[in-house]
């Protein structure tokens, strides 16, 4: 089945939560955004949805510089992620909590974890898994998917819970053979955790240092939106930062992530790996993020639609389509490898 066919199925299954529109932009007239006023956040952005909208707008205002005269070549999208070769610099974001996008009628939490992790693996890339209020020591579908089903081939991002819990979780994943672990520091603003009385905390540089030192795995901090936080994360010794505002779900009225990415790249490029997400919908958007200076990107809501519509097969087909688009975008802008991509590829 094609990506379009998977999306048609997702549209049925996600009725009332996501309209699977051709443009997923958080606009006020979209189903997901209508859910957020005084109701659970659903699949949309927090509050007015401005942060979600700004993510898409920030990418939209960047244009690509077409450059087609020169040697013929097939662009290479291979990406080295902490010593592991991926087919593309594109991974699946740590989206969790199926109740936000349709619950068991759409897909169960264990099925969702399995589809995102195995689908990514089959496409030669990595599925990240997150953390939500319903996860507990006796309910760990992410662990099952990454460590039991995929032989460790995945990344675990835990909410900024208390330090002892986090250290225990990271140790488990390390022993289960996972590729990397980390925490979404912006999860301290999670409305879903707050609604379910699950405590989450702001993390200090010392807290992050303690977590970095608690594991042998590369440690990732997700939810960085300014140079100051990027420098603080680097000071803590993290291996990677993810420039992200949680898909616009934790603080209303932030700038778009592509806008924030410029100052993060200028502050820490070369020192830590830089990953970006938010509003990335196509291989063209991927190229824009890489041109600003990201090393790789994550797709969030689109991976959900692919998993709901087609399970692991849907996720695999989705990644493969984006990789093809990235190849085309690179060929048409005169770059043959990821290393050749610079800001010269975009007009601001």
Ligand X SMILES: Cc1cc2nc3c(=O)[nH]c(=O)nc-3n(C[C@H](O)[C@H](O)[C@H](O)COP(=O)(O)O)c2cc1C
Name the site residues for ligand X (rule: CB under 6 A).
43, 55, 93-97, 100-101, 130-132, 157, 184, 222, 244, 246-247, 249, 277-280, 299-301
Residues 6+ apart with CB under 8 A from 11: 18, 19, 20, 309
Residues 6+ apart with CB under 8 A from 158: 130, 131, 165, 166, 169, 170, 181, 182, 183, 184
Residue 6 tokens, joined: 């998977």
CB of residue 24 vs ligand X: minimum separation in angstroms? Answer: 7
The DSSP annotation for 183-220 comes to EEGGGGG-HHHHHTT-------HHHHHHHHHT-SS-EE
CB of residue 3 vs ligand X: minimum separation in angstroms? Answer: 16
Interhelix angle 257-268/227-235, rounded to 10 degrees, is 40
Question: Is the CB of residue 180 less than 8 Å from the CB of residue 220?
Answer: yes
Give whichever of 326 and 335 is closer to ligand X, judged by the CB atom: 326
CB of residue 11 vs ligand X: minimum separation in angstroms? Answer: 16
Question: Is the CB of residue 246 less than 8 Å from the CB of residue 187?
Answer: yes
CB crowding 152-165: b at 16 or more within 10 Å, else e: ebbbbbbbbbeeee
Give whichever of 274 and 335 is closer to ligand X, judged by the CB atom: 274
Give whichever of 127 and 310 is closer to ligand X, judged by the CB atom: 127
Residue 243 tokens, joined: 């420039």
Give whichever of 223 and 310 is closer to ligand X, judged by the CB atom: 223
* Ramachandran category for residue 204: left, alpha or beta (phi over 0 → left; psi -120 to 50 → alpha): beta
CB of residue 160 vs ligand X: minimum separation in angstroms? Answer: 10
CB of residue 65 vs ligand X: minimum separation in angstroms? Answer: 25
CB of residue 327 vs ligand X: minimum separation in angstroms? Answer: 21
Give whichever of 89 and 130 is closer to ligand X, judged by the CB atom: 130
Q: Closest CB to ligand X belongs to which residue?
A: 300
CB of residue 92 vs ligand X: minimum separation in angstroms? Answer: 9
Give whichever of 157 and 179 is closer to ligand X, judged by the CB atom: 157
Q: What are phi and psi of 288, to 5 degrees?
A: -60, -45
Give whichever of 49 and 130 is closer to ligand X, judged by the CB atom: 130
CB of residue 146 vs ligand X: minimum separation in angstroms? Answer: 14
Task: Give the separation between CA 325 and CA 81, rounded to whole angstroms.
Answer: 21
Give whichever of 130 and 283 is closer to ligand X, judged by the CB atom: 130
The DSSP annotation for 116-155 comes to HHHHHHHTTS-BEE---TT-BTTB-HHHIIIIIISTT-SE
Element (H, E) at 163: helix 163-175
């Amino acid at each position: 089945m094609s990506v379009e066919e998977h999306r048609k199925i997702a549209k049925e299954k996600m009725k009332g939560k996501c309209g699977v529109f051709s443009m997923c932009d958080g606009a006020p007239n979209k189903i997901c955004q209508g859910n957020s006023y005084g109701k659970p956040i659903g699949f949309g952005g927090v509050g007015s949805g401005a942060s979600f909208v700004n993510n898409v707008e920030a990418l939209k205002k960047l244009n690509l510089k077409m450059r087609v005269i020169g040697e013929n070549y097939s662009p290479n999208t291979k990406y080295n992620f902490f010593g592991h070769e991926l087919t593309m610099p594109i991974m699946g974001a740590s989206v969790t909590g199926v109740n936000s996008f349709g619950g068991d009628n759409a897909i169960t939490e264990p099925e969702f974890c399995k589809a995102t992790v195995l689908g990514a693996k089959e496409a030669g890339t990595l599925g990240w898994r997150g953390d939500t209020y319903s996860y507990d020591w006796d309910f760990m579908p992410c662990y099952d998917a990454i460590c039991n089903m995929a032989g460790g081939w995945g990344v675990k991002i835990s909410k900024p819970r208390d330090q002892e819990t986090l250290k225990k979780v990271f140790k488990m994943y390390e022993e289960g053979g996972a590729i990397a672990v980390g925490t979404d520091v912006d999860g301290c603003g999670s409305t879903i955790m707050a609604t379910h009385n699950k405590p989450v905390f702001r993390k200090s540089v010392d807290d992050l240092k303690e977590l970095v030192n608690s594991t042998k795995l590369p440690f990732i901090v997700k939810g960085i939106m300014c140079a100051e936080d990027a420098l603080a994360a680097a000071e803590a010794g993290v291996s990677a930062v993810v420039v992200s505002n949680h898909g616009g779900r934790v603080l209303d009225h932030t700038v778009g992530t592509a806008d924030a990415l410029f100052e993060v790249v200028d502050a820490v490029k070369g020192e830590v790996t830089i990953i970006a997400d938010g509003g990335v919908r196509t291989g063209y958007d991927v190229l824009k993020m890489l041109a600003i200076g990201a090393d790789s990107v994550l797709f969030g809501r689109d991976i959900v639609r692919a998993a709901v519509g087609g399970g692991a097969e849907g996720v695999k087909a989705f990644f493969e389509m984006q990789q093809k688009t990235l190849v085309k975008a690179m060929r048409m802008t005169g770059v043959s490898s990821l290393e050749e991509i610079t800001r010269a590829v975009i007009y601001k």
